[in-house]
């Protein structure tokens, strides 16, 4: 069972500001309905954050009168946010958006996290649901690990860059990759965190 009021329409949080700035009038109702499952299957906070960000990007592209085909917006958003996309592809896409007069730096600053969406839903919209199910707990865990990996990449990249600039280290074009491996000491199976979360169990469960 969920509860919801409309007090979030004039809230001062980041999502509330985005709703006003990008004219996303229907976003509050959609967020509550999708989070609580009022229209069918529930969507996770991570999925809702991506939906908010796609709407922000679409609004900015429409405001700039940028033409795009069906499915292209989703691909542009994927290139901007997916960890597996090369830095070259991301840079090229950002340049195309800038050339079309889309303020991509501001748009990316306005992208929200799942924690921000949760705060807006619970504090501003007074929405509530039962305790998260197993799927949502998995998604939250995935987000937590990914955030730590991204932080490690950023710190390492910054450190190497400063050493290179100070001529304390010599390196060409480089990329920083962070992989976390989970090893079960009982069955000896190896997984990346993502693989383990997707599998839901190690090889012990099949013994």
Tens digit of pLDDT for each residue in 6-32? 444 568 899 999 999 999 989 999 999
Q: Is residue 70 part of a domain?
A: yes
Q: Of 41-45, 46-50, 52-56, which range is least confident? A: 41-45
Number of structural domains the chain divides into:
2
* Boundary residue ending a domain (95, 130, 165): 130
Which tokens go with 149? 């990996």
71 and 12 housed in the same domain: yes
Interval 164-187 mean pLDDT = 89
Categorize the per-residue pLDDT at 2 as very low, low, confident or very high, splitting at 50, 70 and 90.
Answer: very low
165 and 182 housed in the same domain: yes
Distances (CA, A) of 4 to 28, 52, 115, 122, 123: 10, 19, 18, 9, 10
43 and 116 housed in the same domain: yes
Helix (H, G, I), strand (E, B) or coil at 42: coil
* Boundary residue ending a domain (80, 100, 130): 130
Categorize the per-residue pLDDT at 35 as very low, low, confident or very high, splitting at 50, 70 and 90.
Answer: very high
119 and 60 housed in the same domain: yes
Query: Which residues span the domain enclosing 52?
Result: 7-130
pLDDT at 188 over 70: yes
Q: Give me the percent of the chain exceeding a pLDDT of 70.
A: 93
Please report where in the chains the tokens 């906070």 appear, as a residue: 45
Q: Of 85-89, 134-138, 153-157, 171-175, which range is least confident? A: 134-138
For residues 85 and 1, the model is more confident at 85
Check if the beta carbon of residue 151 is closer than 8 Å to that of residue 178.
no
* Boundary residue ending a domain (84, 113, 130): 130
pLDDT at 140 over 50: yes
For residues 39 and 20, the model is more confident at 20
For residues 112 and 10, the model is more confident at 112
Quote the pLDDT of residue 8: 47
pLDDT at 138 over 70: yes
82 and 171 housed in the same domain: no
108 and 184 housed in the same domain: no
Q: Is residue 1 part of a domain?
A: no
pLDDT at 66 over 90: yes
164 and 196 housed in the same domain: yes
Question: DSSP secondary-structure letter at 204?
Answer: G
């Amino acid at each position: 069972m969920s509860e919801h009021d409309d007090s979030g329409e004039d809230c001062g949080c980041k999502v509330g500001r985005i709703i006003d700035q990008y004219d996303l009038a229907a976003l509050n109702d959609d967020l509550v309905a999708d989070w609580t499952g009022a229209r069918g299957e529930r969507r996770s906070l991570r999925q809702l954050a991506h939906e908010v960000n796609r709407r922000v990007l679409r609004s900015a592209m429409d405001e700039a009168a940028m033409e795009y085909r069906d499915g292209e917006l989703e691909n542009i958003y994927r290139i901007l946010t997916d960890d597996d996309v090369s830095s070259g592809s991301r840079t090229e896409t950002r340049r195309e958006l800038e050339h079309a007069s889309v303020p991509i730096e501001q748009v990316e600053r306005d992208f929200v996290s799942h924690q921000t969406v949760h705060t807006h839903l619970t504090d501003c919209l007074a929405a509530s649901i039962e305790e998260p199910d197993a799927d949502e707990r998995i998604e939250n865990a995935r987000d937590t690990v990914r955030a730590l990996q991204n932080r490690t990449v950023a710190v390492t990249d910054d450190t190497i860059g400063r050493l290179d600039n100070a001529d304390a280290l010599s390196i060409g074009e480089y990329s920083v990759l962070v992989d976390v491996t989970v090893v079960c000491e009982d069955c000896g199976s190896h997984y990346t965190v993502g693989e383990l979360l997707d599998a839901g169990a190690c090889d012990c469960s099949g013994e």
